[in-house]
Amino acid sequence: MILIIQVHKRLQQYFIQIIYVIIVIGSHSPHSICQLYGDSPQKVVEVQLILQIVELEESKTIEGVSVGLEGNSLYSWNISFAGPSDTLYEGGYFQALIKFPDDYPNSPPTFRFLTEMWHPNIYTDGRVCISILHAQDEFNDQEPPETRWRPILTPEDVLISIVSMLSEPNINSPANVDAGIQFRDKPDEYKKKVRKLIDKALENL
């Protein structure tokens, strides 16, 4: 967390207050923290993002996760994580970019893999198509509203859903049609292609 504050210099002056509230008062609420220095909407979101970075890096659900800021912006994160155990992706290490809109958390973030992926629910440019990244007002009769983005959700929730999606693709609504067809009709070839890309990514680390 200290590294994050050092990188994002605009928030250095709030570092002591944030630590005070977390340790002494025991509150992780962005509003509680921001009451110490002014409760502007932008600062509430920035503090919320800092706390969510810490939460994600301390996650016991996602293996080998790390977070860094892209271009010193709290609204753009570089994320790395290990492939889940006992799946086709075990042993892999994946890099991605998650970006937050100005009206976060009312609107969902976007998530794009920087590692080359072959998956029915990942576009060829790395963008992920999954319900949790879709806003409530996006019409899709295949997605119940409760599976879409809600302001109470966090980046950790997003990453947990994406990790689950890796080993359990939804081929009924594929973002990559060719990958979806191969997954359905030629599973052995699909597995070989996925493992080849994983090995290639590891060589480039």
Task: Give the residue ranges of the chain where pLDDT is below 70.
Answer: 1-40, 139
Q: Which residues pair with 127 in a beta bridge?
A: 112
Last residue of a domain, one of 58, 82, 103: 58
Neighbouring C-beta atoms of residue 120, cutoff 10 Å: 23
Together in a domain, 139 and 165 = yes
Together in a domain, 136 and 114 = yes
> 161 is in which domain, residue-wise?
61-203
Rounded Cα distance between 2 and 12, Å, is 9
Q: Which residues pair with 94 in a beta bridge?
A: 81
Neighbouring C-beta atoms of residue 196, cutoff 10 Å: 11
Count of domains for the chain: 2
> E strands, 41-176, where?
66-70, 73-82, 93-99, 110-113
Together in a domain, 132 and 198 = yes
Task: Give the per-residue pLDDT at 122.
Answer: 97
Domain of 74, CATH number, reads 3.10.110.10
Together in a domain, 98 and 188 = yes
Last residue of a domain, one of 58, 76, 95: 58
Together in a domain, 54 and 66 = no
Task: Give the per-residue pLDDT at 12.
Answer: 45
41-91 pLDDT, tens digit each: 777 788 788 888 888 888 888 888 988 888 878 899 999 999 988 999 999
Task: Give the per-residue pLDDT at 107.
Answer: 95
Together in a domain, 146 and 92 = yes
Which active-site residues does the annotation give? 129
